[in-house]
Amino acid sequence: MHELRIATDLAEIVERYASEAGWQVVEKVNLTFGQFIQVVPDLFEAAFREATRGTVAAGAEIDIEIIPAEMRCLGCGAPYIPAGDLHACKSCGSEEIDLIHGKELYIKSIEGG
Ligand SMILES: [Zn+2]
């Protein structure tokens, strides 16, 4: 379950941020994940709860934004949305592709005080 590893890493970042800011409580954590990170929000939230148990972030609300995958073909330059596991260009069939969106994994903002 890779949600657990991601949640543990992000919980550490959130706790460090809150500690450096001198916060008593973290109220909300806004997260951005690309589609290719394949995070299941419910599993992530459960893992985050586990990782932050007993910390200032234990009761934080979790908001997850999923960015849809988007590719650009290096052959013809066309941007497109990949379908399933077929990543070749829909216009020319080239497999020389660049990922524009889909691998995002970051904390957009943290709210607390
Ligand atoms: Zn193409």
The Å distance, Cα 83 to ligand 1 centre, comes to 14
Number of separate domains in the chain: 1
More confident residue, 24 or 87: 24
Whole-model pTM: value is 0.86
The Å distance, Cα 37 to ligand 1 centre, comes to 24
Instruction: Identify the CATH number of the domain in which residue 40 sits.
Output: 3.30.2320.80
What amino acid occupies position 93? G
Distance from chain centroid for Cα 79: 22
**Chain segment 46-103, per-residue pLDDT in tens:** 999 999 999 999 999 999 999 999 999 999 999 988 877 677 888 898 989 999 999 9
Domain that holds residue 98: 2-112
**DSSP per-residue codes, 23-43:** -S-EEEEEEEEEGGG---HHH
**Protein residues near ligand 1, an ion, with CB under 5 A:** 73, 75-76, 89, 91-92, 94
